[in-house]
Structure 1
Amino acid sequence: MDKKEQQLVEHYYEKFTNRSFDEKDLYSFLMVVKEDAQDNQVIKELCNFIVHREKCSGYVKNYLDECKQIINTLGKQKNSKRIEDLFSFKEIRNGFNSLFLKHGFEKLSSEIINDFILCIISLLQSVKLVSGSLNKEVGHLSFAASSKEVFLMGNMKTLNKGRYIPVTFQILSVKNSYEKVKPQDKNDTPYLFEDELIEVVNNDGNLVITFPGLNSIG
């Protein structure tokens, strides 16, 4: 990393510690550090996923292929494998803080890491999920929110008894400390935003989720 890149890292680190950033700032930061983070698996894979999207490779591609395999076997095996999150909160927290320590900065609080994951979820919405050598589209990612959590959800279909059944599964999740969301049922099933575009913006040091029709879920 050259001196100018280091200056940019310092700039974004200050914005992070002041909580004066939004999803666009995190995106720009990841673009600055993506080459420097090649020895940091979590940050490396998140950067590649956000930048290359449906053309991502490596760990993320293997993870999504495995998700497809699990979904294709639903109802066909007695003990179906569970789909785990792409990365846990702890893994993402440790990945970011390892990167900051490497550049001489202090670790960031869990609240700021929570902000990071929210921004990452927003940045990854609408990504197409592809499979096979022909990169056939098999699904997509969407933003979702419940009263307690915000999610990045995968959406695919599985063939069951001659019919294609939609399947939604969790890829990333984070505590919803941002917006009041009215539970839509006793299970607090997340509201899924398929067509609407969500954005995470900053309002006087607080991240705000720009839900469309907020009054209908708040």
Structure 2
Amino acid sequence: MDKKEQQLFAHYYNKFVERSFDEKDFYSFMMLVRDDAHGIDSVNGLADFIALREKSSGYVGEYLGDCKQVIANLGNGVKAKKIEDIFSFKEIRNGFNALFLKNGFEKLPAEIINDFILCTISLLQDVKLVSGNLNKEVGHLSFAVSSKEVFLMGNMKTLNKGRYIPVTFQVLSVKNSYEAITPQDKNDTPYLFNEELIEVVNIEGNLVITFPE
């Protein structure tokens, strides 16, 4: 990083420490550190995902390709493979803290890393899932929330016995320490926001999820 980039890095780091940031600040920080995070798979992967969206390649592209294949196989009698989160909380925490240490700053506590993941989930809403050389849209990502967790969910369809069946799968998740949500059933099935746009804002030092009316 040059001196100006270092100055910007320090600016955002201080906002993180003070918890005075929102998803727009986090977006700007991720664009700043995309190149500097090379070799830190979780941070670089999420930064590329946020920046490139459906054009993502590398690890993210491979991950989404695997997800599409798992969903396509559901209707073929193939034993279902579990789709794991693109990165675990531990991988993301360790990645960001490695980046901060590399640039001369202290590690951040788990609750701020939690905030980072919440902002990431919000920023990746409505990313199109595409397939093939023609970039045909086969699904999309959406924001979801239950009483215990916030999710980035993938939405696709699979052909089963001549009919297309909708399939929803988890891509990223984080503890819901932000909003009191009434479970919609005994399984605490997440509320899925496919059309409505969610934003994460900061109100008096706390991140708040702005749900549609």
Shift, 1:81, TM fit: 0.8
More displaced stretch, 37-46 vs 114-123: 37-46
Equivalent residue letter for 1:6: Q
Aligned-pair CA distance for 1:75? 4.6
Matches within 5 A, 1:52-201: 52-77=52-77, 79-201=79-201
DSSP 3-state at the match of 2:154: strand
Cα offsets for 1:27-48 (capped at 9, x unmatched): 0011111111112111111111
Offset at residue 204 of structure 1 (A):
0.3
User: Is 1:204 equivalent to 2:204 in the alignment?
Assistant: yes
| CA drift at 1:78 | 5.5
The amino acid that maps onto 2:209 is I
Amino acid at match of 2:108: L
Question: What are structure 2's unaligned runs of at least 5 residues?
Answer: none
C-alpha distance in 2 between matches for 1:78 and 1:153: 22
State the one-letter code of the partner of 1:171. Answer: V
1:79 deviates by 2.7
- CA shift digits 1:158-203 (9 cap, x unpaired): 0000000000000000000000110000000000000000000000
Q: Distance in 2 between matches of 1:60 and 1:136?
A: 18
Aligned residue in 1 for 2:51: 51
Give the partner amino acid of 2:14.
E
Question: Where in structure 1 are there 5+ consecutive unaligned residues?
Answer: 214-218
TM value normalised by structure 2: 0.98
| Distance in 1 (alpha carbons) for counterparts of 2:46 and 2:29 | 12
Q: Distance in 2 between matches of 1:64 and 1:25?
A: 26
Structure 2: distance between partners of 1:113 and 1:124: 17
Is residue 75–residue 161 contact of structure 2 (8 Å, CA) maintained in 1? no
Number of residue pairs aligned between Structure 1 and Structure 2: 213
Please report the RMSD computed on the Cα atoms of aligned residues, expressed in angstroms.
0.8
Find the residue that maps to 2:74 and give its secondary structure. coil
- The 2-side partners of 1:16 and 1:191 are apart by 28
The AA in structure 2 aligned to 1:53 is: R
Task: Give, as a single letter, the amino acid of the residue that structure 2 aligns with 1:181.
Answer: I
Q: Is the 8 A contact 2:151 2:170 kept in 1?
A: yes
Percentage identity across aligned positions? 75
Question: 1:33 aligned to 2:33?
Answer: yes
C-alpha separation between the residues in 2 aligned to 1:20 and 1:109?
15
SS at match of 1:164: strand
Q: So what's the TM-score if we normalise by structure 1?
A: 0.96
Letter matched to residue 44 of structure 1: N
Q: Secondary structure at the match of 2:76?
A: coil
Q: What letter corresponds to residue 207 of structure 2 in structure 1?
A: L
**2:117 counterpart SS class:** helix
Q: CA deviation at 1:76?
A: 3.0
